[in-house]
Amino acid sequence: MKDSIFHTPDLLTPAYVYDQVSIVNVLDKLVSLKEKTACLPLYSIKSANMVGLLEVIKPYVSGFSCSSLFEAQLAAEVLGEGQTIHITTPGYRPDEWDNIIQLCDFVTLNSTNQWQSMAKKIGAYASCGIRINPELSFVNDERYDPCRPDSKLGMTSEQLAVANSKQELNWESIEGVHIHNNCESTHYGELKQSVEKVMSGLSEFNPKLKWINLGGGYLLNDKTDLTPIEDTVKWLQDEFNVDVYIEPGKAITNGAGYLVSTVIDLIESKNKIIAVLDTTINHLPEVFEYQYQPNVMATSDKGKYEYRLVGCSCLSGDLFGDYYFDKQIEIGSRVVFGNIGAYMQVKANMFNGINLPATYILGREESLELIKQNDYESFRSRV
């Protein structure tokens, strides 16, 4: 991508920019995987959910996966015939349940209580499955680990055994299982290991499964060896005669996302030159939540000029970090954050009444299409 596109005066800042070419390059890998294995790729819309972005992704996937009623409603609004909506969450609200089962084609339940109170109601509306915790942790940071001790996500082998002994699960009615136990991994051998463990543990219950959802948590890039997932999908199809779904989210959008900001002030303190941006960490919430330091374009460890990049809110901790640049920054300079296409826009907020960024799609011909712009009414409707 040419850096100059971020410096055009027509681009409003702050702005989220999603590179369509980058997104499609990842989606092409999914299509190739589908052609080799007949697996069914979904897009997990919790990663990034603007309608314009979903329209770009829609032609390449078999449907969307959701985690709430509102996400399911958005999926239904965007998807066409023949595409499916999948949902799983540890917390279904009773007052939303009727709408959920009418919108979703596949519903995954998370616990024995959910099964007992909801499974019979699904009836002819959707295919019902359960989420299983493989009890294999591959994530060092517990905050991201679905298999952390005492996890809320999925049923463990012990919980399944207890439920089965009490006849609290009807294996004749369980049509699928959902697995998701990783985060930002490129090692699909970990997925193979997890699936083999889960399917081995299920054998004692003799389930009559029709599908298995392998979840997300894995990245797709040019260095990724997809052989383990290809082998896993084919093994599941051959051994168990099931449809196999995968639901990447961050893998599709993260590398395609940028936040473009403008320097609105420079402050010379005792030890640092502080560059105040027209954006804020509230537009990149994981910076504050997880102490994540984002990538910034045009920076270099050997750069001559050091700046502390900070946001424009009144929060003293509203800072992105210290960066070195080869060229001096001036008021009016653009600062571009990269690899922010997942779990940022969906979490962004209007703290201090600071407007949310505009959202653009960067097309194949490097044309910018404005797909979302917020204003005072956007803020007023939230308070």
Considering the domain architecture, whether residues 286 and 193 belong to the same structural domain is answered as no
Considering the domain architecture, whether residues 194 and 310 belong to the same structural domain is answered as no
Question: At a CB cut-off of 8 Å and minimum separation 6, what does 67 contact?
Answer: 46, 87, 88, 89
Separation between Cα atoms, residue 260 and residue 230, nearest integer Å: 38
Considering the domain architecture, whether residues 167 and 241 belong to the same structural domain is answered as yes
Q: Which residue has the tokens 């960490």?
A: 281
Positive/negative CA dihedral, 164, 165, 168, 170: positive
Separation between Cα atoms, residue 327 and residue 299, nearest integer Å: 9
Considering the domain architecture, whether residues 221 and 357 belong to the same structural domain is answered as no
Count of the separate structural domains present in the chain: 2
Considering the domain architecture, whether residues 195 and 267 belong to the same structural domain is answered as no
pLDDT of residue 3: 76
- Cα–chain-centroid distance for residue 382? 24
Position 330 in a domain? yes
Considering the domain architecture, whether residues 244 and 258 belong to the same structural domain is answered as no
Separation between Cα atoms, residue 246 and residue 249, nearest integer Å: 10
Look up residue 357 and give its DSSP letter: P
Separation between Cα atoms, residue 358 and residue 46, nearest integer Å: 19
Contact status, residue 250 vs residue 219, Cβ threshold 8 Å: yes
Name the nearest CA neighbour of 244 among 62, 25, 90. Answer: 62
| Pair of tokens at residue 188 | 């699909």
Position 22 in a domain? no
Considering the domain architecture, whether residues 167 and 284 belong to the same structural domain is answered as no
Considering the domain architecture, whether residues 197 and 119 belong to the same structural domain is answered as yes
Separation between Cα atoms, residue 378 and residue 383, nearest integer Å: 10
Residue numbers of the domain that contains 127: 38-248
pLDDT of residue 175: 97
Contact status, residue 310 vs residue 318, Cβ threshold 8 Å: yes
Contact status, residue 65 vs residue 43, Cβ threshold 8 Å: yes
Contact status, residue 333 vs residue 347, Cβ threshold 8 Å: no
Considering the domain architecture, whether residues 344 and 291 belong to the same structural domain is answered as yes
Position 31 in a domain? no
- Of 248, 263, 288, the residue at which a domain comes to its end is 248
- Of 248, 282, 313, the residue at which a domain comes to its end is 248
Position 27 in a domain? no
For residue 327, the domain's CATH number is: 2.40.37.10
For residue 206, the domain's CATH number is: 3.20.20.10
Considering the domain architecture, whether residues 131 and 273 belong to the same structural domain is answered as no
Positive/negative CA dihedral, 366, 369, 371, 376: positive
Position 33 in a domain? no
**pTM here?**
0.94
Contact status, residue 226 vs residue 246, Cβ threshold 8 Å: no
pLDDT of residue 383: 83
Name the nearest CA neighbour of 236 among 91, 45, 40. Answer: 40
Question: At a CB cut-off of 8 Å and minimum separation 6, what does 135 contact?
Answer: 147, 156, 157, 197
| Residue 120: its H or E element | helix 112-122
- Of 210, 232, 248, the residue at which a domain comes to its end is 248
Q: Enumerate helices (H) and strands (E) in the chain, giving the number of each.
A: 11, 17
Considering the domain architecture, whether residues 69 and 99 belong to the same structural domain is answered as yes
Position 277 in a domain? yes
Separation between Cα atoms, residue 256 and residue 184, nearest integer Å: 15
Positive/negative CA dihedral, 331, 334, 338, 344: positive
pLDDT digits (tens), the chain, 383 positions: 567 899 998 899 999 999 999 999 999 999 999 999 999 999 999 999 999 999 999 999 999 999 999 999 999 999 999 999 999 999 999 999 999 999 999 999 999 999 999 998 898 899 999 999 999 999 999 999 999 999 999 999 999 999 999 999 999 999 999 999 999 999 999 999 999 999 999 999 999 999 999 999 999 988 788 999 999 999 999 999 999 999 999 999 999 999 999 999 999 999 999 999 999 999 999 998 888 888 999 999 889 999 999 999 999 999 999 999 999 999 999 999 999 999 999 999 999 999 999 999 999 888 999 999 999 999 999 88
Position 162 in a domain? yes
Considering the domain architecture, whether residues 332 and 351 belong to the same structural domain is answered as yes
Position 190 in a domain? yes
